Structure 1
Amino acid sequence: MTLKDEIKAIASGIREDILAKRRYLHQHPELSFKEFNTSAFIKKSLDEWGIPWIPVADTGIIATLGGNHKTANTIALRADMDALPIHENTGLAFKSVNPGVMHACGHDLHIASLLGAAHILKRLGKEINGTVKLIFQPAEEILPGGAIKILQEGVLQNPKVNAILGQHTMPSIESGKVGIRKGMFMASMDEIRIKVKGKGGHGAEPHNNNDPVVAAATMIVTLQQIVSRYNNPKTPTVLSFGKIEANGSTNIIPDTVYIEGTFRTMDEHWRDEAHEKITRATKSIAHGLGCECDIDIQKGYPSLYNCEVLTDKIHSYMREYMGDESIIETDIWMASEDFAYYAQNFSSCFYLLGTGYPNRINSSLHTPAMEINEECIETGMGLMSYLAVKKLED
């Protein structure tokens, strides 16, 4: 029996168990750095399979297994654990029992897939030419994220990881397929908060006021020109404002307006330059219209770059395991992921696991109706196992 056939056979045999684990995790979601029950559930599964683990980053876990420990070959596989503050509206029999909390980004599937891979790799035993570190990471959904904390704690050293792989749920890709892209893949993400301070008063007497609403509106429109006029058109960039608070009324100009938005790009040098331009333009507009402003740009996750050499190899292993027809070369994705921190430190590849249903509209990530086609579960755990073993053979 070939390695591919052996892994597929094991994945098929444990499918129902891993499916049950995924449903339990989906039903009991927990927010970032509060994944206490989730962590205990993972530890219990690892203990049952005799896989050693250590705690990391508060609620996180690093499990280690492998066959030939005389080699320095070490690969890491990562799954994030946290859910989102969303009230679920799927109608599933195993929908969230925690009001206002939902696995709307597929992290329950990520955990289940990695647990399945852990089981498969444990069964393969000495066929593994090196060490596999399994990263169950907390808090991907909030800044500063769990990845940076795991890196700071040094658990990916001794033995040092040579490569790290991660997979992410993607409803827009049909179950049974995967998406992959080498090089530039995901955007950086920064949060912008602006407080515009003016002098409010009666809406019928604007000449007696310094209107912060007009100043805020001017900022929102003008700042778009930083993207359209200063950015190299070849560099994907997004500047969006999604929250405005002006607590006035039809005839009341408020003293203060609050604006919140996000800035995303795929070039770290331009990212820093844009921050300076946004800050300078914001303050200049406020001053020119008789107002003041405070601006805070919270720097979030960096852009994610898939190592081209590693990704080419992973792509070839995917073809061996799944066939060319099941692999999609994806476009860039302007979402953000703290997996990017791993990619800054290790040879890394982050790919997409198709979870969509055929012939229907699939709700997107981060929505109350997001569902996963569970036919993907064998692909998720089997492929990850195959990629790890093949990379260690390299």
Structure 2
Amino acid sequence: MFDNSLFIVEKIRKRVDELYPEIVGIRREIHRHPELSFQEFRTTALIRDYLLKLGLKVEHDFLDTGVVALLEGGGSDKASSLVALRADIDALPLQEENTHDFCSREQGRMHACGHDMHTAILLGTAAVLSEIREKLPGNVLFIFQPAEEKAPGGAKLLIDAGLFQEYDPSAVFALHCFPDIPAGKVALHEGGVMAAADELYITVYGEGGHASAPHKAADPILAAAHIITAVQHLVSRVTSPYEPVVVSLCSIKGGNATNVIPGKVAISGTLRAMNEGVRAQIQERLRETVEHVAKGLGCRAELEIVKGYPVVVNDPETTRALRESLVDYFGMKDVVECEPSMTAEDFSNYLQYCPGVFMKLGTGRNVAGKKDMFLHSPFFDPDESSIATGMGAMSYAAFSWLTSINNAQQ
């Protein structure tokens, strides 16, 4: 680590500690008032006000909610170098069941995926970096993105609205709470780290009739049962055992009486894959299986596939560089390797345009007898000490990346 970098590390650590109580308060305020995708108006106003007080340039509105802001560094003649940092800001339609005094005050809405943590962390990062702006050898683009939880996702909409036409970051970084990783640790993985996700909607059409005479009907419930069983072979008998793939059918609806064979059954579920080629292969085989099984039982079936987010692929070279920087900041023991997960994230859309890294932030509590609930649980309760970890990670990631770009250009 260079002397200047050592100075910046200590500066960031000190400022993170000083800001921590304020940023925890902001996190709790956001948590009290969760807003669903595309409805994050209160959160947007809070973010905008905070960034303006820091002296950042809040850019024009790309979408109705969310904020994009620019911090201009002054530590180099090459201040055109740009790194982007992203946080998602929306909540989930879920009733909170925790007992804190800062629990959600909005009926049926909760920050159960940590987006309140992400937003607070990135606001804290903006505060830290604004105080060392004269040392920053480049600019930092802060993306507070709406609607990560609702397809097609805010990332794609921001890109379609011209975000990366107006800005050309050399890298983009983000983090996400993970309660199965201990608080105080940051986890990285090169390559595919989160899955592509598609929504599956199957409709089976038959000919209804009296349950006492099934031979006079075409039973879509029977066909649906065979379809559900048949698609399970796709993972074990079509794809390699070394390829992570999940097909889960999670809902089936049809009929409303004990003595009536219905005319239609609806099934829905999800497809997850870590490889875009495998994803396309399974989509094709799903369609064939659904249609042919139904036909063999005298019914007709249609499959609608709503394509979701692509695979989140951490650029290997950028990930290695980030790992080295985070080790400089945290030490070797707190920067760990993580396994890929089959959850999905629309951060993948940014990675289609520039290299970047999606970090997993440990938020797990080490409390005897307490079970940390996973993401999207009504009991999701991240360890707030990880806010300081996240602020340090994002702040030093931006500084070290811009420094490396600046050094490479000299």
- Give the TM-score normalised by structure 2: 0.94
What pairs with 1:316-331 in structure 2 (closer than 5 Å)?
316-331=324-339
The answer to whether the Cα contact below 8 Å between 1:162 and 1:347 also exists between their aligned partners in 2 is yes
2:14 equivalent to 1:9: yes
Q: What corresponds to 1:40 in structure 2? A: 45
2:68 to 59, 62, 78: 62
2:174 equivalent to 1:136: no
1:374 to 384, 393, 396: 384
2:247 equivalent to 1:242: no
The answer to whether the Cα contact below 8 Å between 1:200 and 1:254 also exists between their aligned partners in 2 is yes
Note the alpha carbon deviations across 1:196-240, whole angstroms, 9 max, x for none.
111122222111111000100100110111111111221100000
Q: What corresponds to 2:395 in structure 1? A: 385
1:344 to 332, 349, 352: 352
Q: Distance between the aligned counterparts of 1:13 and 1:305, measured in 2? A: 34
1:87 to 90, 95, 98: 95
2:220 equivalent to 1:215: no
Q: Distance between the aligned counterparts of 2:22 and 2:382, measured in 1? A: 17
Note the alpha carbon deviations across 1:245-291, whole angstroms, 9 max, x for none.
01233332211110000001011112112111111111111111111
Structure 2 unaligned runs (5+)?
Answer: 1-5, 405-410
The answer to whether the Cα contact below 8 Å between 2:83 and 2:141 also exists between their aligned partners in 1 is yes
Structure 1 unaligned runs (5+)?
Answer: none
Q: What corresponds to 2:407 in structure 1? A: none
Q: What corresponds to 2:163 in structure 1? A: 155
Q: Distance between the aligned counterparts of 1:259 and 1:369, measured in 2? A: 29
Q: Distance between the aligned counterparts of 2:199 and 2:228, measured in 1? A: 15
Note the alpha carbon deviations across 1:53-96, whole angstroms, 9 max, x for none.
12222212111003137423210000001100100001111111
1:296 to 298, 304, 309: 304
Note the alpha carbon deviations across 1:309-330, whole angstroms, 9 max, x for none.
0000111111111111112200
Q: Distance between the aligned counterparts of 1:189 and 1:340, measured in 2? A: 11
Q: Distance between the aligned counterparts of 1:70 and 1:175, measured in 2? A: 38
1:22 to 27, 49, 72: 27
Note the alpha carbon deviations across 1:10-50, whole angstroms, 9 max, x for none.
11111111111000000100000110111011001111111
Q: Distance between the aligned counterparts of 2:63 and 2:276, measured in 1? A: 26
Q: Distance between the aligned counterparts of 2:301 and 2:255, measured in 1? A: 16
The answer to whether the Cα contact below 8 Å between 2:196 and 2:312 also exists between their aligned partners in 1 is yes
Q: Distance between the aligned counterparts of 1:233 and 1:300, measured in 2? A: 23
* Letter aligned with residue 41 of structure 2: F
* Letter aligned with residue 192 of structure 2: M
Q: Distance between the aligned counterparts of 1:216 and 1:123, measured in 2? A: 61
The answer to whether the Cα contact below 8 Å between 1:66 and 1:121 also exists between their aligned partners in 2 is no
Task: Give, in angstroms, the shift of residue 345 of structure 1.
Answer: 1.0
Q: What corresponds to 1:276 in structure 2? A: 284
The answer to whether the Cα contact below 8 Å between 1:66 and 1:129 also exists between their aligned partners in 2 is no
Task: Give, in angstroms, the shift of residue 2 of structure 1.
Answer: 1.4
Q: Distance between the aligned counterparts of 1:159 and 1:6, measured in 2? A: 28
What pairs with 1:98-177 in structure 2 (closer than 5 Å)?
98-177=106-185
Task: Give, in angstroms, the shift of residue 292 of structure 1.
Answer: 1.4
1:365 to 370, 375, 384: 375
Match of 1:220, SS state, is helix
Q: Distance between the aligned counterparts of 2:265 and 2:223, measured in 1? A: 9
Note the alpha carbon deviations across 1:302-348, whole angstroms, 9 max, x for none.
11110000000111111111111112200111000000111111111
Q: Distance between the aligned counterparts of 1:158 and 1:96, measured in 2? A: 36
The answer to whether the Cα contact below 8 Å between 2:170 and 2:354 also exists between their aligned partners in 1 is yes
Match of 1:62, SS state, is strand
Q: Distance between the aligned counterparts of 2:182 and 2:303, measured in 1? A: 42
Task: Give, in angstroms, the shift of residue 158 of structure 1.
Answer: 4.5
Q: Distance between the aligned counterparts of 1:348 and 1:96, measured in 2? A: 33
| 144-153 vs 302-311, which moves further | 144-153
Q: Distance between the aligned counterparts of 1:53 and 1:159, measured in 2? A: 14
Match of 2:95, SS state, is coil
Q: Distance between the aligned counterparts of 2:377 and 2:166, measured in 1? A: 40
Note the alpha carbon deviations across 1:107-149, whole angstroms, 9 max, x for none.
0000000000000000011110001000000000011000011
Task: Give, in angstroms, the shift of residue 159 of structure 1.
Answer: 4.5
Q: Distance between the aligned counterparts of 2:255 and 2:167, measured in 1? A: 56
Q: How many residue pairs were aligned?
A: 394
The answer to whether the Cα contact below 8 Å between 2:189 and 2:319 also exists between their aligned partners in 1 is yes
Cα 1:134–1:159 shift into 2, 3 Å: same
The answer to whether the Cα contact below 8 Å between 2:188 and 2:359 also exists between their aligned partners in 1 is yes
Task: Give, in angstroms, the shift of residue 102 of structure 1.
Answer: 0.4
Q: Distance between the aligned counterparts of 1:158 and 1:86, measured in 2? A: 36
Q: Distance between the aligned counterparts of 1:344 and 1:116, measured in 2? A: 27
